[in-house]
Amino acid sequence: MTTARTHELKDPIHGFVRLSSAERALLDTPPVQRLRHIHQLALSMMVYPGATHRRFEHSLGVMHLAGRAFDAITTNHARFPGALPPPDDADLPYWRTVVRMAALTHDLGHLPFSHAAEDLLPEGLDHEDLSDRVIRSDALAPAWRRLGVAARDVARVAVGARAGDAPLSAWERALSELITGSAFGADRVDYLLRDAHHSGAVGGGFDADRLVSRLLLLPSVAGESVVGVQAGALQAAEMLLSTRDFLYESLYFHPVRRILDHHLGMFLRAALGTPLLPEGDAGQFRADVNAHLALTDDEVFAALRRASRDPSLPGHRWARRVTCREHYRLLYRARQRPEERTAARVATLAREAFGASQVVFDPVERRPGPLNFLLLEGTQVVPASERSRLVRANTPISAEFVFIAPEVRDEARAWLRGALPDLERPT
Q: What is the dihedral of CA 287, 289, 290, 291, to 10 degrees?
A: 20
- Can you give the residue range of the structural domain that contains 400? 328-427
Do 260 and 96 form a contact (C-beta atoms < 8 A)?
no
Looking at residue 98, what is its pLDDT? Answer: 98
Asked if residues 94 and 236 have their Cβ atoms less than 8 Å apart, the reply is no
- How many Å is the Cα radius of gyration of the chain? 23
Residue 27 and residue 106 share a domain: yes
Give the per-residue pLDDT at 367. Answer: 59
Residue 124: Cβ within 10 Å count: 8
Same domain, 321 and 335: no
How high is the pLDDT of residue 87? 75
Task: Give the global pTM.
Answer: 0.94
Identify the domain boundary among 217, 234, 251.
251
Q: How far apart are CA 314 and CA 421, in angstroms?
A: 41
Question: What's the confidence (pLDDT) of residue 2?
Answer: 44
Q: Which one of 251, 282, 304 terminates a domain?
A: 251
Q: Are residues 10 and 88 in the same domain?
A: yes
Q: Is residue 348 part of a domain?
A: yes
Residue type, 262: H
How far apart are the C-alpha atoms of 374 and 44, rounded to whole Å? 34
208 is a domain residue: yes
Question: Parallel, antiparallel, or unpaired for β 380-383 and 225-230?
Answer: unpaired
DSSP strand pairing (374-377 vs 225-230): parallel
Distances (CA, A) of 387 to 83, 194, 273, 404, 406: 22, 28, 54, 45, 49
* pLDDT at site 282: 87
With a cut of 60, say whether residue 42 has pLDDT above it.
yes
| Amino acid sitting at position 44 | S
pLDDT recorded at residue 336: 59
391 shares its domain with 282: no
Mean pLDDT, rounded, for 299-322: 98
Q: Domain count for the chain, please give it.
A: 3
Dihedral-angle region of residue 131 (phi above 0 means left; psi in -120 to 50 means alpha; beta otherwise): alpha
Q: Which pLDDT score is estimated for 165?
A: 87
Q: How many CA atoms lie within 13 A of 312 on its CB side?
A: 1
More confident residue, 79 or 136: 136
Confirm whether 1 is domain-assigned: no
Q: Is residue 40 domain-shared with residue 142, that is, in the same domain?
A: yes
Q: Residue 249 gets which letter from DSSP?
A: I
Provide, rounded to the nearest whole percent, the portion of the chain with pLDDT above 70: 94
